[in-house]
Each structure stands twice: as structure tokens, then as C-alpha cells.
Structure 1
Amino acid sequence: MPLPDPEIVVLGGGPAGSSAALRLAVDGARVTIVSPPRVPATRLESLPVGGQALCDLPGLRRALDTSAVAVVARRELLWRERPETLEVTRDAPFLIDRARFDRACLAEAIRAGARLETSRARRDGPEIVLEDGRRWHPVAILDARGRRGLRARAPGLPQMVALPFRASDPSGVMRIAAVPDGWLWCAAGPQDRAEGALFCRAERVAGLDATERAALVTEALRSVGLLGAASGTPSAASLDWAETAMPEARVIRIGDRALARDPIAAHGLVHALRSAAQGSAAALTLLEGGNADAVREFVESRHRADVLAAKAVTEAAYASQARIGTGFWSDIARDPRPETASPPQDIDVTRRYALAAPLSRGAALIEGRIRWSPVIEFPASARRATHVGALRAETLTRLIGPPAPLGALLERLETQVPPTVARTIVRELLDGGALSPV
């Protein structure tokens, strides 16, 4: 007897696709992953505490435990005028074996009940057409096929490629260093086995053969006191994104298919896991007959906010480099003294402020599904928040809606939360542009 068609199809079996399918299967959806046989990338990757918290399902936790090979004990940064070293004593990132993590995520999704279809397939609008002619009409499609086909790029930032390498370095050390032809990242796991990549302009390596690329990597490593060798072919590494995260109704792009981060902004795996959680919630909402307009607004607003954040972090990271002023770096337009994004240390409590925008209705993720909810808008990041701190948007608007000096707004908030929490909320509102002077 043939199996029933899937309710939800996930295109791609990488970490975004597999973790989304795992979440869907755990929620009881009939989900199929379509992923031809692939060889996962062999590399180490750091996963910060925030990313570890996204592994909140038993299956994802097992995948994390299986693939974590070390804890980052020390960070060394050769980026600004003076070398910086940070001994990590708490909230340390894990070093993840990406190939092992990818395989474990896929295995956990199948263990939870997701099916795996290894034949090739294409998307024809809302249909999935397999190479044997079968046609599926799922309720939702999650497209997690990687950065292939992305169009948009950040103006002013270079088109980058990654040249992977292996080196010898003390275990538990993670390094980021500016070098004349770009920058490099590497981290060392057990047995002092370090892996990383040199990131440089695409045109810098265009036309170079394997020997010439290896020489470029070797020289970059030597400039920061490391010995190593190239270990693979170049791969795309620029900040790129899709113009829309929902190109059609019921089709949702997740992971690198929606936003491929420049590694200088770090933690692409965090974005993959987060977008998988959001995408699976969107698919389940559609499966259960939820509001399709709310799903689209939520997916697109999160996509816009993610793109803005990635652009800001990437531009700030390149701009903060002050160690080298020649070669690659002399071609990048940058402010040598970028403004800090952190809020001011002191708040002028005498100045009058008001909410930049009135309370509005927005789509929000509530208890694992997407629903309409009152939200406060943060113009600086395109973020829409149902809560700021512990206060709901409607409560916060009622407390600070009427214009007043910040001191008075703080007093209103302190009727609901402790003074330190009230100041934290005000700082967040100011930094996000949700409060503006009048």
C-alpha cells in the first residue's frame, strides 16, 4: 500500500531543513525531507550559548551532544591595533563538528517520524515534482536548499570566498585575525587539530590553481604565527539574502536559502536553527488552518529584521578592523572609528519622549503558532515585539504612551517592575528607536 503524500515537504537535509523536519515530526505532522545524497561540510564551527539554547528538543540536544568536540577556552583576536585575548570562564561556545551535527540532525528527524526521499525533485509553484513523475501537493513547503540562487547583496561589501585549511594550534583556542589579503578564523579541537578558513575577495582567487590557492593560505597563516595548509576548494562566503522569504503562498525559505551570512558576522548555524524553528511554526500554523496573512507578515517581518541585523553586524565588523591598512583592507570604505551600537551609559531623565509609533497589530509567535497580537515597533531594526522585558506591548503602551520626561516614564514603569528592570526596558526602547524625543 503506497504511503500517503506528505502534509509538509522540506527541501534540503542540512541543519535548517533537518531541525525543522524534526520539530514538525515531533508535533505530529506528516513531513518528508527531500534531499539527494550529500556529503556534509567537514569543518569545525562555533555555537554560542544562545545557539545551544535553540537545541531545546531532545533530538536536537542529542545531535548537539554527539557533535560537540570541545569547549572554547580562549579567544584570540588580531583585529584592532592591539592583540586581544579573552579567557572564557563562563558561557563558553561549543566547537561543533558540522559534518557530524548535520548527519545527527537528519537521523533524529527520521527517528522522530520524518520520511526521507533521496530522489531529486523540483518545486513547481506549490507542487513538488519528483524525478519519477510523482507529484505532491503539500500544505506547506520549507525550502532549505542553501544559498543557491540568492540575489541580493549588501552594497559596499566585497564578494567573498572561503579557502578552508587545517593547522596546528592549542586545543580550545579560537582565533580571528586580519591579514593583508582578507581575514581568517580558526578553532582547535582535540589533539590540537585546528580547522578554519581564509576569507578573501572572490576576484583575488579567480584563475588561481590549487597550488597558488594553497600558497595564499600558507602565507596568511604564517603572518599570524600558524603553520598549516589548504584543505579544500573555495566556497561562497558573502552576505547574501533573498528579496522575499515567501516567494509564493505556502512556500517558506529558511536557513541560508533566506539569508546567508558573511562569516565575519558569525554564527550562521544559530540563524539556521532559529529560522528552522520559525519556519516549522509557520508551516504548522498553515497546516492547522491558521491565518495565512499572519503567517506571511510574520515570516517577512522576521526576514527583514534578520537582514538588517546581519548587514549592521557585518559592516561594523569590517569597519572596526584597525590592524592592517593595506591590501584588501585599503579597498574597503570604512570609518576607522565606528560608532558603538550600545546604549548610552546615562539616561537624560529630563528630556520628553514618546512612543515613535502607536501600538499596532502584528503577527507574533505565541505558544508555537503564529497569531495576530498587539506589538510595539522598533524602527531601528524592523522588529515587532509582543513583550519588552516582562511587560506585554499593551501594558507598556498604557504606561508610557502619553509623552513625558524619561524620569516620569521610568516612574510609571516602576509601578510594575523593579527600577533596574525599568531602566533596562527604557534603554532597549531608546536603542531600538521605539522612543523618540518630542
Structure 2
Amino acid sequence: MSNNLIEMDKRHFIHPTSSIQQQQKNGAKVIMEEGDGIYLKDITGKWYLDAVSSLWNVNIGHGREELAKAAAEQMKKMAFSSAFSTFSHEPAIRLAEKIASLTPEGLNAVFFTSGGSESNDSAVKLVRHYWKIQNRSERRKIISLKRGYHGVAAASTSVTGIPEFWGMAGHMMTDFIHVDTHYNSTTDQAIASLRQAIEESGPETVAAFFAEPIQGAGGVLIPPDDYFPRIRALCDDYGILFVADEVITGFGRTGKMFGIENWDVIPDVMTFAKGVTSGYFPLGGVVVSETIHNVFKEKSLGTLFHGFTYSGHPTGAAVALKNIEIMEQGQLVENSRLMGNRLLLGLKKVKESLEIVGDVRFVGLLGAVELVEEPVSNKRFAQDQHVTLKAIEALHERGVICRGVTYDNTDIICIAPPLIINQEQVDQLVEGVYEAILKVQQQLGIKR
């Protein structure tokens, strides 16, 4: 059976963000068949600790029958109905109201999508529309951060600040600018980079600044405490909209319902996906401020020519409502904070024990471990040593699934387990990380 699946996979399945040649040569790395809590089981019967919540999204864990029941009940009643042409239905209405009640003050109106890439693509169009209907169509430039990841649709690829995503199909769209991140720089330097970009572009031509509260796919890059308050002030100075990409950081991942709340900053626009349904159904969205919504209501004449077939999908909305209910009843946002602290302390002990562990950083259950040749000087390994690949493979051998990042000559292990993780499982994860990095250190011939 497994050989048949591997051959079918090679012949018919083009995998996203994967090496097609490697797939054709070696087949699927692993074929999963079952999930239970923070664990996944493959078709050989091997269990894995899902230490990155699959794609940062399975916040309430695998195998939750409550979500299957919520989907089934909605499908039996009405599986789908369009939200075009002002048609509506109860699940989407109630989900929009619920999300508005959870987001920072003033963010009150929701446009639904099918996922994160669509959400950020929609945010680009909505902020440009906001300026256009106020006779400010010259305000269309979008500024974002290097190492930021915002998706792979046309506009969201252009917002993304990781060059590896730009060349796949040619070139990016115009009027997108990428500035220095806060990673390996001071807040003063990062703010100066943004200010310079605004001034050089012409403030009157800039529509919005996009940023993840914590850069996820870029390597879990956590900003200094004063970074976002100063970003908010700078955007206000120039009259630029601030868009917070909460696709990864939303719905409890950072120990707050939304990541930007860790810095008490309120954006003008917020995008979300992933954790809103814990991956049980494709769903995302854009939340806009009351101010922006009022401008839409007053000046957006005729039809808003933007939308997706599954915007506000009733089954997806029902799943999201049940998912949020489970999070609230299980106090999973608080558990994220508590278990994140325990995981951070455990991995700091790993750093003390192993020579090649550099920075260890976490906010809630979103964090990373960097591997470096020399921790004191932060000297990086040569890329031909493939340190990240070795670490991810060593973790896989030990039944732990993590994500590796190597952008800008870094070796980063990203960790983001489901929010239901408990103390015993945290300790199991820490032990697995320790053993895997120890193996890599021995392979490199490094001894403390």
C-alpha cells in the first residue's frame, strides 16, 4: 500500500513549497494518516510530535471531534451559500461579530477569504481602494520588511520580503518596497530605514506599511519592545495605514489572542487565517478599523469588485466559531503563555549544555533556536555544512517535526506546537531538541 501511494504521489501530486526533483527522486518524505492532540502518525505507524502545528495553524491540536461535528451539522443544514451581491447567512455574520469582539479596539468589520495569501492580497487591494475613493489614488505604494512573509498570491508575494519567493514566475508587481527588519539591528536603525523609504518614495504615494508582529517564516524574528509603538507613531506622522499580518500570530499563538497585543499597539488593518479554524477548514480574512469601514460605507459607490467564491463559507465559519469556543473554554491563550515560558526555560538549558546553540527566543508558543559556529561572536556556519538540514533530519528521526530556516546565512529551528501542549509534552519536546542538536554537534566534530 505505501509503495503504491508513493508512486501515485510522484506521478500526480505537485507539492507546494517543495523540490519537485527531490520528490521525483525519493518520493514523499512522509505520508501522514492520523492525528491525535499534538501528535501525527504516518502510514508506517510511526508517531511524531508536531512541534510546528503542521504549518503554524493547528492551534487546538489534531483529531478534535467537536470541529468535525460542527462541520457536519452545518453541512447537513446548509453546506454552502454565496456571500456575493449582499447575500448572507448566519454563520458568517456571527463569526464576523465574534472576531470584531476579539480584535483590538476599533477593528470592527471583516472581509472573509480562504487563507493567509488571499487575506494579504485582499488587504493590499482594500487599502488602495480606501485611498482611491478619497481621490488619493497616488497613494498605492506598499512598504514591508525584509524577511517578512505574507503569502504567495500576486500581491502578497510582492509584499513578502524573502527574495527566494520572487523569481519563481518572473518578476514582482510594482510599487512594493522592502526595508530593513529589526533583526540584527537596533530599533533606531530599523525605524530610520522605514523613514528613509517613505521620504524617498514620497509620503503622499505610500498607502500602507505591512508587518508581522513576529516574523514567522523568516525565522521567528521578535522585535524589540519599542519597535511597534514607534512604527505606529511613524505611520501616524505620515498618515500611512499600518497593517498587522496576524496569519501566524493570531488566535493565541503568542500568549495573547493577537500578537500585536504584546506591544499594546492598535493597527488600522489586521489580516488573519490559520489558527481561526486550527486548519480544520480553509478560512482567512481582513479586519478593518471603524474609520476605514466608515469611508467605505460613505464613498465606495457601486459594486466592490473583489471577492472569492468561498468568502464567508458557512461551513468554515461554523468550524471557526466552534474552534474559538474551544480556545476560550480551554483557556488555551493562557496555556500558550505558560507552556511557552516553560519551553523557553527548557531550551535555555539546552543552550547552556550545547556549544552550537545561539539565540533562543519565544513569545508564547512561537519560538526558535539558532545554531551558530561560535555563540559569543555569533559566527555562522558555512551554508555548505547544511547544519539546519541535519538538525531537522535528526529531529525527524526522533519523532519531532520542526521547520528549518536558512535565509541570510542563518541556521534556525522554528518551534510552534499546538496550544494544548502540557508540561510533560513540553519536556518531551525539549529532550528531543537536545538529543537532535547534540547529534549534529557530534557530526560537526565540535566538543564543549
TM-score bin (small chain):
under 0.3
TM-score (norm 1): 0.26
Q: Which has the higher contact order (CA 8 A, sep 6+)?
A: 2
Decide which structure has the larger Cα Rg and report it: 1
* Structure with more helix by fraction: 2
* Structure with more strand by fraction: 1
TM-score (norm 2): 0.26
